[in-house]
Each structure stands twice: as C-alpha cells, then as structure tokens.
Structure 1
C-alpha cells in the first residue's frame, strides 16, 4: 500500500480513536506493517501538521498517539462552548442523556455497555451544555468518573425534581425502555434549543 494511503488511514484512525488515542502496537496490527513504519508515518503526519496552516496536531504519551487541537487556538474553542447554539442535540446525545437521567450516577463505561457503542462525544456534548456533571468516582478499579444530571437539566426540561421524570415500563425489555426515554427527551429537545438561544 502506498505511503499516501497509509497516512490517510492512520489520520482517520487517530480521529476515530477520540480522547483515548491509539497505541503504536494497535496501529501496527491494523495497518499490518512494522512498528517502525508506523512511527515513520506518524512523524510524516506530525511534519504535515506543523508545517502547514492546520488546526490539528499529534500528541504522543508513551506509545499512545492522540489527534488534538492546537493549544494556541484554545480561546476560540472556549468561545464556541460559550456561544449559544440553535442546533438540536444528536440522537446519540439524547440516548446518553436518557441513560444518565434514569441510571445516575453512572460511569462512561456503564453508559457504553447499555448503548453498545463508544459514548465519549455525546458525554462531552452534554457536559458542554451543562446538562450533566461529574459527581464523584466509582470505588472500583481505575476509580472511573461518575456522571449525573445537573440543576440546568431540570431547568431545561421544566422539572422541579428527578421524581417528575416519566416512569419507565417495568416489564418492558431494554429496547422498549430506551425508546420510552428517547421519546421523552426528543419531545423536549426543541425546548432545550429555545432556552439555550434566549
């Protein structure tokens, strides 16, 4: 495979790995090339980012690579989080919010076990909108962060307490429960957007 294709694939893998990044050994196994070749490709990508007007850079922590934004642009990302938006939350964010609301406090891993997919981005979206917050750590291996809904969550949904959340059917299967919760939050998604833009 040509170096250009390998660079493009590596860049895509770095992006897809999100906050966790991707290890050298994993890249080597996926691309089916020696670790030394992976290092060469990553160095090429680093050079491209550093020597062109790009907004991204590659960070390395031990043997794990991360694709991240440049620190000199941080003020603009802060403005983005502070700027009101009228865009609706994604289905992934709504699903994640429903799970947190009904299962809180809950860890990211537990959320992902329920959804069956990675949930880094939806969790970050909800944190950025102040709909959820970190409330401590689970007393287990690695002491993972626990998430719960915030006071803003109640305000946005017009609730005075979590007890006002609609009850979920006890006898239904997991899929039905998730659909019930999703329908509730989707119903109020437009209301959230109106509140955020006021």
Structure 2
C-alpha cells in the first residue's frame, strides 16, 4: 500500500505530546489536593470542591477555577493528541521506516505508545473525580475496570519490550552502542513506572477492607 510522506517521517516520540498534556492535568489536580479540604477521602472530589468554593476567599476561588479549567483543557489536549498519534502510528506501521525502526536502537521509542495510554487513563480518572457528581459513591466498582485497563497496557508494554530484548540479546552486534545517546532508551522504564502508578492508585484510594 502506498504511504504518504508524512507517514514515512512519523516518530513514536510524538506520543510524548499526549503524555505532556496528561502530565499537566495531573499537575493542576495536585493543586486541588492542597487547596481543597477533603476530609476522610484521599483525594478531592466534585462534592468537596462544591462545598468549599462558596466559603473560600476570592483568591482561592480564582485558583480553583484556574485549576479546573487547566484539568479540562489539558485532558482534551491529551486525548486529541493520543487519537491523532494512534491514527498516525497505524499509517506509519505500513512504511519501510517502521521496519527500519524495529531493527534499530530506536525500537525503544515504541514504548511511548503504552506510556501515553497509561497517562490518558490517569487523566480521565481525574476528570471523573473533579467533574462528575456522585462518582465517589460508585468508585469501588470502577477500580476493577481501572486495574484491568492498566494490566492490559502493562501487557502491551511488556510485549513491546520483549520484542526489543529478544532481538538485541539473540542477535550479536545489532545493538549499536555508539548510537546509545538518547533518553528514548529510558522509555521502557518510564512506561512501566506509569503503569505501576496506575495499578497502585486503586489500592491507595480504596476503602474496602
């Protein structure tokens, strides 16, 4: 199948744009963690914000509005960039450039894909906590779905890492140490760490004993 020049020039590192937007979603949520009282709960939720906002001073009200706007805006950006990258990546997989990448040190950049997926799940969970009334009442039923999502993403990441390690460990001389000059080699660690954070969150927030 004929591919476009744009598909040939695509890089999986573009997924990091989605990761960055998701990271800013988490950043604004952390501000609410410190600003909004959330007694008996590990995180602030919609009801906590609604109860605190009318009694807060003007600076606090402005800060809360800015934080909530930041969460909404950057989550939208996160998802938009995620979906664009998935589409672009699927086109990229049909090119010779993809085959070349899979046989080079740059194969580790493929881990940006599961990293972005894990970040998006985190961002969506934050949006639910901040903007959906009553979500905390059913959150215990949502945790298994979150765990399943992160386990699937983790399996995807491990499969990709396995392909890379299987190639470089079984074929002599295929890993070019002279080209080992990019932080992209850290992406496997970053992706697994993000999945681990996602798996630990339900355990940290659950009140089921």
Same fold (TM over 0.5): no
More strand by share: 1
Shorter-chain TM-score bucket reads under 0.3
More helix by share: 2
User: Normalising by structure 2, what TM-score?
Assistant: 0.25
User: Which fold has the larger relative contact order, with Cα–Cα distance below 8 Å and residues 6 or more apart in sequence?
Assistant: 2
